[in-house]
Structure 1
Protein backbone atom coordinates (compact mmCIF):
# COMPACT_ATOMS: atom_id res chain seq x y z
CA UNK A 1 0.00 0.00 0.00
CA UNK A 2 1.61 3.29 -1.03
CA UNK A 3 1.82 5.93 1.68
CA UNK A 4 1.39 9.45 0.29
CA UNK A 5 1.82 12.63 2.30
CA UNK A 6 0.15 15.56 0.53
CA UNK A 7 1.31 19.04 1.57
CA UNK A 8 -0.28 22.30 0.44
CA UNK A 9 2.22 24.90 -0.76
CA UNK A 10 1.45 28.59 -0.57
CA UNK A 11 4.00 29.36 -3.33
CA UNK A 12 2.70 32.65 -4.80
CA UNK A 13 0.86 33.50 -1.58
CA UNK A 14 3.73 32.98 0.86
CA UNK A 15 4.49 36.70 1.16
CA UNK A 16 0.88 37.54 1.95
CA UNK A 17 0.57 34.69 4.49
CA UNK A 18 3.93 34.45 6.30
CA UNK A 19 2.73 31.81 8.78
CA UNK A 20 4.25 28.93 6.82
CA UNK A 21 8.05 29.28 6.90
CA UNK A 22 10.13 27.41 4.35
CA UNK A 23 12.18 25.85 7.17
CA UNK A 24 9.00 24.19 8.42
CA UNK A 25 8.39 22.68 4.99
CA UNK A 26 11.96 21.36 4.90
CA UNK A 27 11.51 19.80 8.36
CA UNK A 28 8.33 18.16 7.14
CA UNK A 29 10.23 16.82 4.14
CA UNK A 30 12.92 15.38 6.42
CA UNK A 31 10.30 13.66 8.56
CA UNK A 32 8.78 11.69 5.67
CA UNK A 33 10.82 9.20 3.62
CA UNK A 34 10.44 8.34 -0.03
CA UNK A 35 10.10 10.09 -3.33
CA UNK A 36 9.56 13.85 -3.31
CA UNK A 37 7.17 15.46 -5.77
CA UNK A 38 7.22 19.19 -6.50
CA UNK A 39 5.02 21.29 -8.78
CA UNK A 40 6.54 22.97 -11.84
CA UNK A 41 6.72 26.34 -10.07
CA UNK A 42 9.56 28.64 -9.18
CA UNK A 43 10.20 30.42 -5.95
CA UNK A 44 11.87 30.22 -2.58
CA UNK A 45 9.79 27.26 -1.40
CA UNK A 46 10.58 25.12 -4.44
CA UNK A 47 14.29 25.99 -4.38
CA UNK A 48 14.58 25.18 -0.67
CA UNK A 49 12.66 21.91 -1.02
CA UNK A 50 14.79 20.90 -4.01
CA UNK A 51 17.95 21.50 -1.97
CA UNK A 52 16.52 19.64 1.04
CA UNK A 53 15.64 16.65 -1.13
CA UNK A 54 19.11 16.49 -2.69
CA UNK A 55 19.79 12.80 -2.02
CA UNK A 56 16.25 11.53 -2.57
CA UNK A 57 14.30 10.64 -5.69
CA UNK A 58 12.71 13.85 -6.96
CA UNK A 59 9.86 14.14 -9.43
CA UNK A 60 8.09 17.06 -11.02
CA UNK A 61 4.31 16.98 -10.97
CA UNK A 62 2.45 17.53 -14.21
CA UNK A 63 1.69 21.12 -15.11
CA UNK A 64 -1.69 22.70 -14.44
CA UNK A 65 -0.92 25.67 -16.70
CA UNK A 66 -3.67 24.85 -19.22
CA UNK A 67 -6.29 25.14 -16.51
CA UNK A 68 -4.70 27.55 -14.07
CA UNK A 69 -6.45 30.72 -12.96
CA UNK A 70 -4.54 33.11 -10.72
CA UNK A 71 -6.20 34.42 -7.61
CA UNK A 72 -7.29 38.04 -7.93
CA UNK A 73 -7.91 38.27 -11.66
CA UNK A 74 -8.88 41.65 -13.06
CA UNK A 75 -12.15 41.36 -15.00
CA UNK A 76 -12.75 43.22 -18.24
CA UNK A 77 -15.41 45.91 -18.33
CA UNK A 78 -18.86 44.37 -18.52
CA UNK A 79 -17.60 40.87 -17.68
CA UNK A 80 -20.12 39.82 -15.02
CA UNK A 81 -18.69 36.33 -14.58
CA UNK A 82 -15.16 37.71 -14.25
CA UNK A 83 -16.41 40.28 -11.75
CA UNK A 84 -18.06 37.53 -9.68
CA UNK A 85 -14.78 35.59 -9.67
CA UNK A 86 -12.79 38.68 -8.68
CA UNK A 87 -15.21 39.34 -5.82
CA UNK A 88 -15.01 35.72 -4.68
CA UNK A 89 -11.21 35.89 -4.74
CA UNK A 90 -11.20 39.06 -2.66
CA UNK A 91 -13.49 37.49 -0.07
CA UNK A 92 -11.49 34.25 -0.12
CA UNK A 93 -8.23 36.06 0.57
CA UNK A 94 -9.86 38.04 3.38
CA UNK A 95 -11.24 34.84 4.92
CA UNK A 96 -7.87 33.10 4.63
CA UNK A 97 -6.19 36.06 6.32
CA UNK A 98 -8.33 35.26 9.36
CA UNK A 99 -8.32 31.47 9.12
CA UNK A 100 -4.62 30.94 8.37
CA UNK A 101 -3.48 32.27 11.72
CA UNK A 102 -1.07 29.34 12.00
CA UNK A 103 0.61 26.89 9.64
CA UNK A 104 -1.46 24.00 11.02
CA UNK A 105 -4.57 25.43 9.37
CA UNK A 106 -3.24 25.41 5.83
CA UNK A 107 -3.47 21.63 5.43
CA UNK A 108 -7.02 21.29 6.69
CA UNK A 109 -10.34 20.35 5.09
CA UNK A 110 -11.65 23.92 5.41
CA UNK A 111 -8.83 25.19 3.19
CA UNK A 112 -9.52 22.44 0.67
CA UNK A 113 -13.24 23.25 0.71
CA UNK A 114 -12.60 26.94 0.06
CA UNK A 115 -10.42 26.19 -2.95
CA UNK A 116 -12.79 23.56 -4.29
CA UNK A 117 -15.57 26.14 -4.21
CA UNK A 118 -13.28 28.66 -5.88
CA UNK A 119 -12.62 26.19 -8.67
CA UNK A 120 -16.36 25.87 -9.25
CA UNK A 121 -16.58 29.66 -9.53
CA UNK A 122 -13.60 29.66 -11.94
CA UNK A 123 -15.20 26.98 -14.11
CA UNK A 124 -18.49 28.85 -14.20
CA UNK A 125 -16.87 32.19 -14.96
CA UNK A 126 -14.22 31.14 -17.45
CA UNK A 127 -15.66 28.15 -19.25
CA UNK A 128 -15.10 24.55 -20.14
CA UNK A 129 -11.75 24.81 -21.94
CA UNK A 130 -10.05 25.96 -18.75
CA UNK A 131 -11.86 23.23 -16.83
CA UNK A 132 -10.65 20.58 -19.29
CA UNK A 133 -7.06 21.77 -18.95
CA UNK A 134 -7.37 21.67 -15.16
CA UNK A 135 -8.75 18.13 -15.13
CA UNK A 136 -6.15 16.91 -17.62
CA UNK A 137 -3.31 18.24 -15.47
CA UNK A 138 -4.81 16.94 -12.23
CA UNK A 139 -5.43 13.49 -13.71
CA UNK A 140 -1.82 13.37 -14.92
CA UNK A 141 -0.66 14.20 -11.39
CA UNK A 142 -2.87 11.51 -9.91
CA UNK A 143 -1.44 8.98 -12.34
CA UNK A 144 2.11 10.00 -11.39
CA UNK A 145 1.41 9.39 -7.72
CA UNK A 146 -0.43 6.12 -8.26
CA UNK A 147 2.13 4.58 -10.61
CA UNK A 148 5.07 5.03 -8.27
CA UNK A 149 4.72 1.57 -6.74
CA UNK A 150 4.79 0.90 -3.03
CA UNK A 151 7.47 3.48 -2.25
CA UNK A 152 6.42 6.18 0.24
CA UNK A 153 5.93 9.61 -1.30
CA UNK A 154 5.61 13.19 -0.18
CA UNK A 155 4.01 15.58 -2.64
CA UNK A 156 4.07 19.35 -2.30
CA UNK A 157 1.13 20.77 -4.25
CA UNK A 158 -0.13 24.29 -4.85
CA UNK A 159 -2.72 25.13 -2.19
CA UNK A 160 -5.25 25.93 -4.93
CA UNK A 161 -4.93 22.42 -6.36
CA UNK A 162 -4.35 20.18 -3.36
CA UNK A 163 -8.04 19.57 -2.63
CA UNK A 164 -8.55 17.68 -5.90
CA UNK A 165 -5.68 15.26 -5.34
CA UNK A 166 -6.67 14.68 -1.71
CA UNK A 167 -10.23 13.84 -2.74
CA UNK A 168 -9.09 11.46 -5.48
CA UNK A 169 -6.43 9.75 -3.37
CA UNK A 170 -8.86 9.31 -0.48
CA UNK A 171 -11.08 7.25 -2.81
CA UNK A 172 -8.27 4.97 -3.98
CA UNK A 173 -8.26 1.51 -2.49
CA UNK A 174 -4.85 0.60 -1.12
CA UNK A 175 -3.53 4.15 -0.72
CA UNK A 176 -2.67 5.52 2.71
CA UNK A 177 -3.21 9.28 2.43
CA UNK A 178 -1.50 11.29 5.16
CA UNK A 179 -2.45 14.83 6.18
CA UNK A 180 0.76 16.50 7.39
CA UNK A 181 1.14 17.49 11.01
CA UNK A 182 2.87 20.82 11.43
Structure 2
Protein backbone atom coordinates (compact mmCIF):
# COMPACT_ATOMS: atom_id res chain seq x y z
CA UNK A 1 0.00 0.00 0.00
CA UNK A 2 2.83 2.36 0.86
CA UNK A 3 4.57 1.62 -2.43
CA UNK A 4 1.43 2.56 -4.40
CA UNK A 5 1.16 5.83 -2.47
CA UNK A 6 4.80 6.65 -3.26
CA UNK A 7 4.25 5.85 -6.91
CA UNK A 8 1.21 8.12 -7.02
CA UNK A 9 3.19 10.91 -5.38
CA UNK A 10 6.08 10.46 -7.81
CA UNK A 11 3.67 10.41 -10.73
CA UNK A 12 2.02 13.61 -9.56
CA UNK A 13 5.39 15.32 -9.04
CA UNK A 14 6.68 14.21 -12.43
CA UNK A 15 3.60 15.60 -14.18
CA UNK A 16 3.99 18.87 -12.30
CA UNK A 17 7.65 19.09 -13.31
CA UNK A 18 6.79 18.48 -16.96
CA UNK A 19 4.01 21.05 -16.86
CA UNK A 20 6.34 23.61 -15.27
CA UNK A 21 9.06 22.98 -17.86
CA UNK A 22 6.50 23.32 -20.63
CA UNK A 23 5.20 26.60 -19.21
CA UNK A 24 8.75 27.95 -18.74
CA UNK A 25 9.70 27.15 -22.33
CA UNK A 26 6.43 28.64 -23.57
CA UNK A 27 7.00 31.85 -21.58
CA UNK A 28 10.54 32.03 -22.95
CA UNK A 29 9.32 31.72 -26.53
CA UNK A 30 6.71 34.42 -26.00
CA UNK A 31 9.42 36.69 -24.61
CA UNK A 32 11.64 36.00 -27.63
CA UNK A 33 8.82 36.71 -30.07
CA UNK A 34 8.07 40.01 -28.34
CA UNK A 35 11.73 41.03 -28.56
CA UNK A 36 12.15 39.86 -32.15
CA UNK A 37 9.25 41.92 -33.49
CA UNK A 38 11.50 45.00 -33.37
CA UNK A 39 13.76 43.42 -36.00
CA UNK A 40 11.03 43.17 -38.66
CA UNK A 41 11.65 46.63 -40.10
CA UNK A 42 15.35 46.13 -40.80
CA UNK A 43 14.78 43.72 -43.68
CA UNK A 44 15.43 45.09 -47.19
CA UNK A 45 11.74 45.09 -48.09
CA UNK A 46 10.63 46.87 -44.87
CA UNK A 47 13.54 49.21 -44.11
CA UNK A 48 11.46 52.08 -45.50
CA UNK A 49 9.22 52.01 -42.39
CA UNK A 50 12.02 51.76 -39.81
CA UNK A 51 11.16 54.30 -37.08
CA UNK A 52 12.54 55.85 -33.92
CA UNK A 53 10.44 53.37 -31.90
CA UNK A 54 12.20 50.50 -33.66
CA UNK A 55 15.58 52.11 -32.97
CA UNK A 56 14.75 52.69 -29.30
CA UNK A 57 13.58 49.12 -28.77
CA UNK A 58 16.59 47.68 -30.61
CA UNK A 59 18.80 49.80 -28.36
CA UNK A 60 17.17 48.17 -25.34
CA UNK A 61 17.88 44.69 -26.72
CA UNK A 62 21.33 44.96 -28.30
CA UNK A 63 24.27 45.62 -25.96
CA UNK A 64 26.15 48.94 -26.36
CA UNK A 65 23.57 50.40 -28.74
CA UNK A 66 22.85 53.52 -26.70
CA UNK A 67 21.76 56.20 -29.16
CA UNK A 68 18.53 55.41 -31.04
CA UNK A 69 18.66 58.71 -32.92
CA UNK A 70 22.06 57.81 -34.39
CA UNK A 71 20.82 54.34 -35.33
CA UNK A 72 17.81 55.86 -37.08
CA UNK A 73 20.10 58.31 -38.87
CA UNK A 74 22.32 55.44 -40.04
CA UNK A 75 19.30 53.58 -41.40
CA UNK A 76 18.11 56.71 -43.19
CA UNK A 77 21.52 57.22 -44.79
CA UNK A 78 21.75 53.62 -46.04
CA UNK A 79 18.05 52.99 -46.65
CA UNK A 80 18.39 52.94 -50.46
CA UNK A 81 21.43 50.66 -50.35
CA UNK A 82 19.68 48.26 -47.98
CA UNK A 83 16.55 48.20 -50.17
CA UNK A 84 18.67 47.07 -53.13
CA UNK A 85 19.90 43.99 -51.24
CA UNK A 86 18.18 40.66 -51.88
CA UNK A 87 18.35 39.31 -48.34
CA UNK A 88 19.87 39.87 -44.91
CA UNK A 89 23.14 38.15 -45.82
CA UNK A 90 23.60 40.59 -48.69
CA UNK A 91 23.03 43.48 -46.29
CA UNK A 92 25.71 42.12 -43.96
CA UNK A 93 28.11 41.69 -46.88
CA UNK A 94 27.46 45.28 -47.93
CA UNK A 95 28.07 46.48 -44.36
CA UNK A 96 31.40 44.63 -44.09
CA UNK A 97 32.97 47.33 -46.23
CA UNK A 98 31.29 50.07 -44.19
CA UNK A 99 31.29 48.69 -40.64
CA UNK A 100 33.78 51.32 -39.47
CA UNK A 101 31.50 54.05 -40.79
CA UNK A 102 28.23 52.46 -39.59
CA UNK A 103 29.14 50.36 -36.52
CA UNK A 104 25.60 50.56 -35.13
CA UNK A 105 24.09 49.04 -38.27
CA UNK A 106 26.75 46.33 -38.35
CA UNK A 107 25.98 45.52 -34.70
CA UNK A 108 22.24 45.24 -35.40
CA UNK A 109 22.60 42.91 -38.38
CA UNK A 110 25.32 40.80 -36.77
CA UNK A 111 23.19 40.45 -33.65
CA UNK A 112 20.18 39.37 -35.68
CA UNK A 113 22.07 36.84 -37.76
CA UNK A 114 23.65 35.24 -34.71
CA UNK A 115 20.30 35.23 -32.90
CA UNK A 116 18.61 32.94 -35.41
CA UNK A 117 20.80 30.01 -34.35
CA UNK A 118 19.90 30.50 -30.69
CA UNK A 119 16.21 30.84 -31.43
CA UNK A 120 16.12 27.72 -33.60
CA UNK A 121 17.83 25.74 -30.84
CA UNK A 122 15.31 26.95 -28.25
CA UNK A 123 12.34 26.24 -30.50
CA UNK A 124 13.69 22.77 -31.16
CA UNK A 125 14.09 22.10 -27.43
CA UNK A 126 10.59 23.46 -26.79
CA UNK A 127 9.15 21.28 -29.55
CA UNK A 128 10.85 18.19 -28.13
CA UNK A 129 9.67 18.99 -24.62
CA UNK A 130 6.13 19.50 -25.88
CA UNK A 131 6.22 16.18 -27.74
CA UNK A 132 7.51 14.35 -24.66
CA UNK A 133 4.89 15.93 -22.45
CA UNK A 134 2.05 15.08 -24.82
CA UNK A 135 3.30 11.55 -25.35
CA UNK A 136 3.63 10.89 -21.64
CA UNK A 137 0.23 12.36 -20.83
CA UNK A 138 -1.60 10.39 -23.50
CA UNK A 139 0.10 7.04 -24.00
CA UNK A 140 1.86 5.91 -20.86
CA UNK A 141 -0.10 3.95 -18.33
CA UNK A 142 0.12 5.17 -14.78
CA UNK A 143 2.23 2.14 -13.85
CA UNK A 144 4.84 2.83 -16.55
CA UNK A 145 4.76 6.52 -15.76
CA UNK A 146 5.30 5.80 -12.07
CA UNK A 147 8.17 3.45 -12.87
CA UNK A 148 9.88 6.13 -14.93
CA UNK A 149 9.35 8.60 -12.14
CA UNK A 150 10.83 6.22 -9.58
CA UNK A 151 13.85 5.67 -11.84
CA UNK A 152 14.32 9.41 -12.07
CA UNK A 153 13.88 10.13 -8.37
CA UNK A 154 15.78 7.08 -7.10
CA UNK A 155 18.65 7.55 -9.55
CA UNK A 156 21.30 6.71 -6.95
CA UNK A 157 19.73 3.30 -6.34
CA UNK A 158 19.35 2.70 -10.06
CA UNK A 159 23.08 3.24 -10.55
CA UNK A 160 23.74 0.24 -8.29
CA UNK A 161 21.53 -2.13 -10.32
CA UNK A 162 23.32 -4.65 -12.51
CA UNK A 163 21.57 -4.20 -15.87
CA UNK A 164 23.18 -7.33 -17.37
CA UNK A 165 21.57 -9.50 -14.69
CA UNK A 166 18.19 -7.93 -15.34
CA UNK A 167 18.58 -8.44 -19.09
CA UNK A 168 19.43 -12.14 -18.60
CA UNK A 169 16.45 -12.64 -16.25
CA UNK A 170 13.98 -11.18 -18.75
The TM tier, using the shorter chain, reads: under 0.3
* TM-score, structure 1 normalization: 0.24
Give the greater-gyration-radius structure (CA): 2
Structure with more of its chain in strand, by fraction: 1
* TM-score, structure 2 normalization: 0.25
Structure of higher RCO (CA pairs closer than 8 Å, 6+ residues apart): 1
